[in-house]
């Protein structure tokens, strides 16, 4: 979807010599959570694609930006089809219980994310990444401070011990 929509708009943006493309990824693109590897991989791929085309489109006056939210107050989790194998059921149940307990206090609203999308669309900056919401900002600060290996160790301790 994202690539096809972008391809549709590019001729108009090139003719105008300006335009802004905004993608929405997820903090899971860079911060590993268990049991969402496929989802995270798609968001990581989209983020990398966005970064790559930002170089290619810059000379045409086309800005490319990505908004990076974390967990939000939506029905996404309730509507997701979770697939698990019986061998992983105990660890999966432990993970889901921990996430539900944690997520009640740690989620942003769709409105707060929309504010960041609006900012990205209207600020005329060459900025590529926009963390969206308090949780995404907190997670990225944690990643910068601790590094990926410490984050993975923390996730293992949090969900699997």
- CA nearest neighbour of 134 among 112, 101, 102: 112
Q: How do strand 129-132 and strand 62-69 relate by DSSP bridges?
A: parallel
Supply angle C-alpha 128, 129, 131, rounded to 5. Answer: 155
**SS3 category, 130:** strand
Q: Render pLDDT for 113-134 as a digit per residue (tens, 0 to 9).
A: 999 999 999 999 999 999 998 8
pLDDT value, residue 98 = 74
If one counts every other C-beta atom within 10 angstroms of the C-beta of residue 152, the result is: 13
Supply angle C-alpha 112, 114, 120, rounded to 5. Answer: 110
Q: Mean pLDDT over residues 122-150, rounded? A: 91
Q: Any idea which residue has 């910068």 for tokens?
A: 144
- Total-model pTM: 0.82
Q: Render pLDDT for 81-97 as a digit per residue (tens, 0 to 9).
A: 556 678 877 877 777 77
Backbone phi, then psi, for 25, in 5-degree steps?
Answer: -110, -135
């Amino acid at each position: 979807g994202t690539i096809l929509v972008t391809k549709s708009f590019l001729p108009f943006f090139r003719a105008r010599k300006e335009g802004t493309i905004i993608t929405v990824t997820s903090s899971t693109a860079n911060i590993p959570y268990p049991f969402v590897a496929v989802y995270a991989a798609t968001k990581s791929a989209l983020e990398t694609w966005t970064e790559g085309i930002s170089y290619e489109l810059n000379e045409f006056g086309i800005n490319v930006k990505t908004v990076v939210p974390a967990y939000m107050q939506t029905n996404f989790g309730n509507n997701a089809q979770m697939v698990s194998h019986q061998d992983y059921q105990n660890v999966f149940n432990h993970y889901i219980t921990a996430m539900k307990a944690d997520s009640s206090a740690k989620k942003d609203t769709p409105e707060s994310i929309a504010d960041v999308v609006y900012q990205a669309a209207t600020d005329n900056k060459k900025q590529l990444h926009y963390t969206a919401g308090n949780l995404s900002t907190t997670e990225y600060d944690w990643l910068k401070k601790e590094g990926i290996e410490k984050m993975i160790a923390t996730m293992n301790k949090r969900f699997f011990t």
